[in-house]
């Protein structure tokens, strides 16, 4: 499966390289988009000394961690949420008769080095945040684990979004709420949001475990929901549960898939 993924990703990369100017501009677009995001945060800090209770370094640590995890998941499997479109056009039937797992085909589709470009500004931001924070080696190790866990969690969300599209079809854009919406949600300190929303992203769609809960521990900030200390380390558990749900949803969707029929 891994070798197939690499083979298909390489194929799509070669396809993307056929339009070098477009590829350069798409990559630039990604970098510009992140930079303007950051500029927005800078504008916020022109007006407020603390954002969601955090100083700039803490906010950038949260932003960087969130974006690296999301960018990695987007590289690995981010195009899976095009499933609805493929079902509508009938392309998915073609994917199913090929001797490669349909999820691998979906995940690598339109793979392009521009997705890797997302990592550059995110890593710089995280680096800047860390340089200002005075973290211990243990904290750094925890940061690395947090990113790995966040990446897997986002991958599960992509699969879940794809699985939902077996049912939603044309309404596929609604699944952006958990994927792109998830990225938007976790890039800022979650203390900004209403309590009900915080409960929802902790216990229903466990976005809080991408970076928020572990970061609370690393940055030494109390949890606004007052959840006990061990919750900071429940990330892998939440991720494992979400993976099980995503896998079950994907299998159920695939089993009940009956083409478009027109």
Kindly tell me which residue out of 61, 70, 154, 188 binds other proteins, with binding defined by CB under 8 A.
188
Between 53 and 222, name the residue whose CB sits nearer to other proteins: 53
* 197 touches other proteins by CB under 8 A: yes
* 46 touches other proteins by CB under 8 A: yes
Report in angstroms how near the CB of residue 135 gets to other proteins at its nearest: 25
Between 5 and 61, name the residue whose CB sits nearer to other proteins: 61
Kindly tell me which residue out of 171, 237, 241, 248 binds other proteins, with binding defined by CB under 8 A.
171
- Spatial distance between the Cα atoms of 115 and 109, rounded to a whole number of angstroms: 12
Report in angstroms how near the CB of residue 89 gets to other proteins at its nearest: 13
Task: State the sign of the Cα–Cα–Cα–Cα dihedral 135, 138, 144, 150.
Answer: negative
- Spatial distance between the Cα atoms of 46 and 41, rounded to a whole number of angstroms: 9
Kindly tell me which residue out of 8, 13, 37, 91 binds other proteins, with binding defined by CB under 8 A.
37
Between 22 and 259, name the residue whose CB sits nearer to other proteins: 22
Report in angstroms how near the CB of residue 172 gets to other proteins at its nearest: 6
Kindly tell me which residue out of 56, 181, 224, 236 binds other proteins, with binding defined by CB under 8 A.
181
Q: Which stretch binds other proteins (CB under 8 A): 60-68, 162-170, 207-215, 218-226?
A: 162-170
Angle at 209 between CA 27 and CA 65, to 5 degrees: 35
Residue in 227, 81, 221, 65 with CA at minimum distance from that of residue 143: 65
* 199 touches other proteins by CB under 8 A: no
Kindly tell me which residue out of 51, 92, 154, 158 binds other proteins, with binding defined by CB under 8 A.
51
* 44 touches other proteins by CB under 8 A: yes
Between 233 and 257, name the residue whose CB sits nearer to other proteins: 257
Between 183 and 223, name the residue whose CB sits nearer to other proteins: 183
Binding residues for other proteins, per CB under 8 A?
19, 21-26, 28-30, 32-33, 36-37, 39-40, 43-44, 46-48, 51-52, 168-177, 180-181, 184-185, 188, 192-194, 197
């Amino acid at each position: 499966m891994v070798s197939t993924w690499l083979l298909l990703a390489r194929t799509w990369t070669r396809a993307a390289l056929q339009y070098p100017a477009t590829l350069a501009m798409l990559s630039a677009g990604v970098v510009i988009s992140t930079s303007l995001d950051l500029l927005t945060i800078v504008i916020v800090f022109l007006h407020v000394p603390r954002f969601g209770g955090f100083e700039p370094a803490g906010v950038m640590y949260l932003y960087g961690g969130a974006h690296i995890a999301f960018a990695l998941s987007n590289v690995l499997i981010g195009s899976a949420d095009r499933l609805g479109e493929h079902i509508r056009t009938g392309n998915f039937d073609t994917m199913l008769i090929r001797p490669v797992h349909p999820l691998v085909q979906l995940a690598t589709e339109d793979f392009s080095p521009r997705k890797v470009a997302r990592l550059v500004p995110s890593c710089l931001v995280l680096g800047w945040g860390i340089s200002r924070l005075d973290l211990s080696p243990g904290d750094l190790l925890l940061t690395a684990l947090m990113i790995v866990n966040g990446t897997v969690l986002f991958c599960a969300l992509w699969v879940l979004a794809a699985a939902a599209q077996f049912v939603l079809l044309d309404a596929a854009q609604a699944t952006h709420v958990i994927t792109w919406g998830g990225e938007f949600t976790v890039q800022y300190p979650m203390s900004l949001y209403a309590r009900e929303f915080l409960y929802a992203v902790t216990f229903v769609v466990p976005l809080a475990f991408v970076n928020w809960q572990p970061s609370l521990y690393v940055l030494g900030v109390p949890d606004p929901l007052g959840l006990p200390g061990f919750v900071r380390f429940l990330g892998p558990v939440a991720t494992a549960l979400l993976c099980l749900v995503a896998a079950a949803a994907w299998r159920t969707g695939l089993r009940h898939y009956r083409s478009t029929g027109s």
